[in-house]
Amino acid sequence: MACLADLSDRLLGASATAVGLAAGAGEFLGYALRFISGYISDKTRKYWVITFVGYAINLLAAPALALVGRWEWAIGLIFVERIGKAIRNPARDAMLSHAATQMGAGKSFGLHEALDQIGAFLGPALIAIILFVKGNTELSLSTYHASFAILLIPALLALTVLVLACVRYPNPGELESKTPRIGAQGFSASYWWYLFAAGLLAAGFADFPLMAFHFEKTAQLSPQWIPAIYALAMAVDALAALALGQLFDRKGISVVIAVFAASAFAAPLVFLGNAPLVLAGVILWGIGIGAQESILKAAIVKLVPRDRRGTAYGLFHTAFGVFWFAGSALMGFLYDQSLLFLVLFSVLIQLAAVPLFLAAAKRTQDNI
Task: Say what angle helices 189-204 and 309-337 make with each other, to 10 degrees.
Answer: 30
Chain segment 137-160, per-residue pLDDT in tens: 445 556 666 767 788 888 899 999
Kindly report the pTM of this predicted structure. 0.80
Chain segment 323-338, per-residue pLDDT in tens: 988 888 888 889 888 9
Over 60: is that where the pLDDT of 96 sits?
A: yes
Over 50: is that where the pLDDT of 199 sits?
A: yes
Chain segment 28-74, per-residue pLDDT in tens: 778 889 999 999 999 999 999 999 999 999 999 888 877 776 767 77
Domains, the chain, with CATH or none: 2-168+188-362 (1.20.1250.20)
* The predicted structure's pLDDT at residue 253: 82
Higher pLDDT, 306 or 140: 306
Indicate the Cα dihedral angle 328, 330, 335, 341, nearest 10°.
Answer: -120
- Round to the nearest angstrom and report the end-to-end CA distance of the chain: 35
* The predicted structure's pLDDT at residue 241: 92
Indicate the Cα dihedral angle 3, 4, 7, 13, nearest 10°.
Answer: -140
* The predicted structure's pLDDT at residue 345: 95
* The predicted structure's pLDDT at residue 7: 45
Over 90: is that where the pLDDT of 351 sits?
A: yes
Average pLDDT value for the chain: 82
Over 50: is that where the pLDDT of 2 sits?
A: no
Nearest to 87 by CA among 30, 142, 21, 143: 30
Nearest to 13 by CA among 62, 63, 67, 69: 69
* The predicted structure's pLDDT at residue 21: 55
* The predicted structure's pLDDT at residue 4: 47
